[in-house]
């Protein structure tokens, strides 16, 4: 009987010696079987592998799943910064109101697109990502990626990422452990045709927030809690928690719902 794997680690075609060594090292540290690339295609065709990690010759780590490639790259944070410097505004920043000494908790880290941008403006971002496989790729990227923009490298150095469920993580935190809590659960009605998150979807957690979790966010936050959703989603309609301010992006349909906890108005 042929052996079936959920996933394996391999290399790109015609791998360098360094890529093979790195793939085997990751196989040991992550507890995921290593497989020579020339055997992967046949096992995929026979349904013996669901998806696989790839270490390419640049030693970048990615996952191939459902015909799409999931990898870490802060390009969207770069574009966001360029837009902010040009236009002088960003809806997320307006909701968070970050200060240089703030410590921010990002409950649903994902690929870190928001976290890298946020980290530039604060002292530290602590993130949790419940998906083991998304965490593996992103944490590897945070350790190994070197950007051409110095601000991105500086921001990455201010990020701490944990493979943990947000509910479990929050339950272990003391009162007012963070200045700001930010949560961006997966949308109900995403724009699949234009989303950079499409490769992430098969591996993502679709756990969302409820009033009980938000009360825990409020407990561990010192200044404010911000929930990101879409205007056409039902999240805010389902919540009984009152929000001080709602910020909407007319172009993207993004909504940032804010609970202010400090003396300052939200």
Residue 27, pLDDT above cutoff 90 = yes
Residues 95-128: tens digit of each pLDDT: 999 999 999 999 999 999 999 999 999 999 999 9
Residue 264, pLDDT above cutoff 50 = no
pLDDT of residue 108: 97
In DSSP terms, 228 is beta-bridged to 256
pLDDT of residue 111: 93
pLDDT of residue 5: 83
Higher pLDDT, 163 or 193: 163
**Angle made by CA atoms 209, 211, 215, in degrees to the nearest 5:** 100
pLDDT of residue 164: 98
Band of pLDDT at residue 194, cut at 50, 70 and 90: low
Superfamily of domain 75-260 in the CATH hierarchy: Vaccinia Virus protein VP39 (3.40.50.150)
Mean pLDDT of 237-250: 94
pLDDT of residue 266: 42
pLDDT of residue 195: 63
Phi then psi dihedrals of residue 26, to 5 deg: -65, -35
CB 223 within 8 A of CB 180: yes
Mean pLDDT of 137-144: 97
pLDDT of residue 2: 65
Band of pLDDT at residue 265, cut at 50, 70 and 90: very low
pLDDT of residue 202: 86
Lookup: tokens for 65:
């799943």
Band of pLDDT at residue 46, cut at 50, 70 and 90: confident
Average pLDDT of the chain is 93
What does the alpha-carbon distance between residue 75 and residue 80 come to, in Å, rounded to a whole number? 9
pLDDT of residue 67: 84
Q: How many CB atoms lie within 10 A of CB 87?
A: 8
pLDDT of residue 198: 80
Q: How many CB atoms lie within 10 A of CB 40?
A: 21
Q: How many CB atoms lie within 10 A of CB 193?
A: 6
Residue spans of the domains in the chain: they are: 5-59, 75-260
Higher pLDDT, 121 or 198: 121
pLDDT of residue 90: 95
Q: How many CB atoms lie within 10 A of CB 177?
A: 16
């Amino acid at each position: 009987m042929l052996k079936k794997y959920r996933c394996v680690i391999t290399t790109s075609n015609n791998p360098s010696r360094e890529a093979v060594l790195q793939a085997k090292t990751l196989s040991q540290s992550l507890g995921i079987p290593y497989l020579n690339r020339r055997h992967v295609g046949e096992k995929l065709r026979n349904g013996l592998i669901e998806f696989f990690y790839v270490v390419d010759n640049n030693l970048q780590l990615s996952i191939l799943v459902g015909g799409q490639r999931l990898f870490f790259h802060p390009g969207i944070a770069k574009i966001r910064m360029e837009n902010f410097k040009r236009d002088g505004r960003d809806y997320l920043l307006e909701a968070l109101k970050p200060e240089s000494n703030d410590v921010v908790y990002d409950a649903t880290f994902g690929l870190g697109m928001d976290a890298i941008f946020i980290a530039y403006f604060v002292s530290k971002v602590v993130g949790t990502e419940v998906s083991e496989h998304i965490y593996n790729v992103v944490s590897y990227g945070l350790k190994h990626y070197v950007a051409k923009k110095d601000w991105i490298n500086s921001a990455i150095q201010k990020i701490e990422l944990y493979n943990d469920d947000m509910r479990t993580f929050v339950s272990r935190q003391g009162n007012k452990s963070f200045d700001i809590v930010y949560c961006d659960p997966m949308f109900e009605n995403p724009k699949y045709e234009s989303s950079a998150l499409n490769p992430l979807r098969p591996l993502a957690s679709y756990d969302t927030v409820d009033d009980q979790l938000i009360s825990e966010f409020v407990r561990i936050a010192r200044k404010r809690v911000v929930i990101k959703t879409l205007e056409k989603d039902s999240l805010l309609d389902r919540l009984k928690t009152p929000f001080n301010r709602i910020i909407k992006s007319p172009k993207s349909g993004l909504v940032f719902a804010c609970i202010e906890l400090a003396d300052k108005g939200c």
